[in-house]
Structure 1
Amino acid sequence: MGVATVLALSITAPGVAVAKPGVPPGPPAGLSREQLADRINRASDQLEGVIERYNQLRSDLQTTVAQITVLKRQIGPLEKQVAEHRAKVGVIASAAYTTAGSTTFAALLHADSTRDVLDQLMVIQLLADDQRREIASLTGLRREYEAAQATLRTLIAQGRAQQKDLATSRAKIESDLATLQRWRTHAFGPSGTPPHRNARVGWVKPEVTGVPAKILDFALGQLGKAYRWAGEGPDGFDCSGLVLAAYKRVGKELPHNSARQFDVVRKIKRDQLQPGDLIFFYRDLHHVGIYIGGNRMVHAPTPGEKVRIDFFDGLPIRGYGHVT
């Protein structure tokens, strides 16, 4: 279980055991406030895409670790069965030699009567049949065991590669976040947050019950919490982490990745949207929000901002989905 444990320990919270980046560069020179804000928005969108790919890679590593753990549990008993059948084959072979000699001809030479000959031949045949069955079983088990070992080696190599990619991606995200925050502070002041339209004005919470009500209550309860990359609560969220956490409250498990969430929902049209449904954005599906009625959604926007309500028409919509 050592390798699985090592790999499992690598699936850590963002920022853990990562070398601190150097002093991030300041904002590009010669840009107006508006140009810098536009550059920040584009950089934030790109970084969110990187974060969602990180979430996907982390999920893949978790799957690999789980597969390794299951396979190692299976290999132990399989190895024991191989040893037991190998021992049986040895015992049967020894018994055949001791009981009847090394050949059928020897049995005929040493028999005192026709009945003895028949008895000896029958014993030899029975032992031979048992031996053939045990050898066949041993051969099949050895093949199964060797295949399992080969699969395990492949999974371990895959897990180590995923672990390396994860660490590289984590370090880049941390470095890019530091740079982006310096840009935000320069452009928007100490808060690092640009002014935006207050979408809560004029919005009335829809009257819903059951699952949609629980999803909305949870999501709206997170308003004002920080965007935290790879976060799924309770103190901060990224976009797919907020969706995951909201649906977990109603017993539905979703991947921590917006593109994979899109893969598992039932696709619907805009006029079919109901509170609690999901809205997906951008061609590569790197953003998702929860529909709350009135052409609005609650979402974790981008790094450096907080969970809030927004009109969803301000972003390029890719599709809509209902979680079944």
Structure 2
Amino acid sequence: MSKSGRVAALLLCLGLLAPAAGGAPASADPPGAAALDQRITDAARRLETVVEQYNDAGIALRETLARARTLDGTLAPLEADLDARQRTLGGLAASLYRHNLYGPDVTLLSTRNPRDFVDQLLTLHRIDTEQRRAIDAFRMARDRVDATRAALEATAAEQNRQRARLAATRAAIEQQIAALQALRRDAYGGGYRLPDVELPPPPYVPGAAGRAVAFAFAQIGKPYRWGADGPDAYDCSGLTSQAWARGGARLAHNARRQYHEMRHVSRADLRPGDLVFYYGGISHVGLYIGGGKIVHAPEFGERVRVEDADFAPVHGYGRPTG
């Protein structure tokens, strides 16, 4: 197959080129360089959305595992409670045996005078009350254990479903990455390399925001890689989460979660260190550095760089607190 045919086939695979009418193979005329770059950019943007979904699923899975560990930790004391109740019941049974109080008929026959009979009835009543209370407590503890076990099993089942979703998402990401890499190779030849990124001087920003900005600047030129949070590569939310970790704020490795974790600010109130979120589904994020610029990990095939804050549709702005 010719180079142009391979490009067309890859574009069809990625859904970027419509097949010819009647199901015939698509015309093999490759798109111009600018059009091809735009299609690659569009595909990479869709891929980034999947990456952010993958990151979010990973966070959800870790939360499920944490809940499972918490539930597991409650089982041991409940089991100990059950054992204690069983020992209490055993003690009551032994007390009944010692007092020969297994039934009213036996009690009456074994009593030689009314005073002893009354004393034994009072003892029977006290022991019976204690026994009933112990039995009730035993049943409540047992029910708590059963409910906890059921919750743990439900959590484990949800964990397995999340793992299956993660595996499917990961496979889709890897397939798209492989197709994009092949598309790059066919479009640019074997000599394609990431463009060099000129490192501008970092602005002076004081405090926690300054530490976040300084860290982001130090990552300029490093490649984008899905799911990465350094030190050699980053995706968009991986870069912002690591930058603000230096500023003392713990952010999720997911753009949408980051947006909902912090105070929102207006465009007019933007300060260096604030985060800028993009697209309706909040699938991208960058770190504002002032002067209408951000540092961000753009997309597959690109490097961390400085860019205009309005390079894409803005969803909103947020301010982490360190």
TM over 0.5: yes
Distance 1:195 1:234 in 2: 19
Distance 1:215 1:321 in 2: 14
Do structure 1's residue 290 and structure 2's residue 276 form an aligned pair?
no
Task: Judge which range, 93-102 or 60-69, deviates more.
Answer: 93-102
Deviations 1:114-172 (A, max 9, x none): 32122212221221121111111101101100000100110111111111111111121
Tell me the equivalent position of 2:114.
Answer: 114
Q: Following superposition of structure 1 onto structure 2, how do residues 24-63 of structure 1 map, counting pairs within 5 Å?
A: 26-27=10-11, 29-30=28-29, 31-63=31-63
Name the CA distance, whole Å, in 2 between partners of 1:219 and 1:206: 11
Equivalent-residue separation in structure 2 for 1:199 and 1:80 (angstroms): 62
Residue number in structure 2 paired with 1:299: 296
SS of 1:227's partner is: coil
**Greater mean deviation of Cα atoms: 310-319 or 94-103:** 94-103
1:208-264 alpha-carbon deviations (Å, 9 max, x no partner): 211011011111111111111111111111100111111112321111110111111
Q: Secondary structure at the match of 2:99?
A: helix
Query: Is 1:281–1:319's contact at 8 Å kept on the other side of the alignment?
Result: yes
Question: In 2 relative to 1, CA 234–74 (structure 1 residues): closer, same or farther, beyond 3 Å?
Answer: same
* 1:236 counterpart = 2:237: no
Retained in 2: the 8 A contact 1:300–1:306? Answer: yes
More off after superposition, 287-296 vs 96-105: 96-105
Count of aligned residue pairs for this structure pair: 296
Q: Structure 2: where are the runs of 5+ without partners?
A: 1-8, 13-27
Q: Does 1:138 align with 2:135?
A: no
Separation in 2, partners of 1:209, 1:161: 45
Q: Distance in 2 between matches of 1:178 and 1:68?
A: 36
Aligned partner letter, 2:272: P
> Residues 109-188 of structure 1 correspond to what in structure 2 (within 5 A)?
109-188=109-188
Deviations 1:57-109 (A, max 9, x none): 01111111111112112112212221321232233134224413322343233
SS in 2 for 1:318: strand
How far off is 1:188 after superposition?
Answer: 4.2
The alignment's C-alpha RMSD in Å is 2.0
Letter in 1 for 2:169: S
On the 8 A contact 2:236/2:297 being kept in 1, the answer is: yes
SS of structure 2 residue aligned to 1:136: helix
Higher relative contact order, structure no. (Cα contacts within 8 Å, ≥ 6 residues apart): 1
Residue 195 to residue 38, structure 1, CA distance change in 2 (3 Å): farther
Partners of 1:158 and 1:199 in 2: how far apart? 46
CA distance, structure 2, for counterparts of residue 144 and residue 282 of structure 1: 46
Picking from 314, 317, 321, the partner of 2:318 is 321
Instruction: Give the match for residue 214 of structure 1.
Output: 211
Higher alpha-carbon deviation: 285-294 or 64-73: 64-73
Unaligned 5+ runs, structure 1? 1-24
Question: What's the offset of the Cα at 1:193?
Answer: 4.2
Q: For residues 303 and 55 of structure 2, what CA distance do their matches in structure 1 show?
A: 19
Identity %: 36
Provide the rounded CA distance (Å) in 1 between the counterparts of 2:106 and 2:232. Answer: 83
TM-score, normalised with respect to structure 1:
0.86
* 1:245 aligned partner: 242
Alpha-carbon deviation of 1:205?
A: 3.9
- Quick one: distance in 1 between partners of 2:232 and 2:203? 26
Secondary structure (helix, strand or coil) at the match of 2:285 reads: strand
Within 1, Cα distance between the matches of 2:152 and 2:131? Answer: 31
- Match of 1:223, SS? coil
Q: What's the counterpart of residue 20 of structure 2? A: none
Alpha-carbon contact 1:239-1:287 (below 8 Å) kept: yes
Contact 1:184–1:193, Cα closer than 8 Å, also in 2: no
The answer on whether the counterparts of 2:199 and 2:221 sit within 8 Å (CA) in structure 1 is no
Structure 2 counterpart of 1:315, one-letter code:
A
SS in 2 for 1:100: coil
- Number of the residue aligned with 2:254: 257
SS of the aligned residue for 2:116 comes to helix
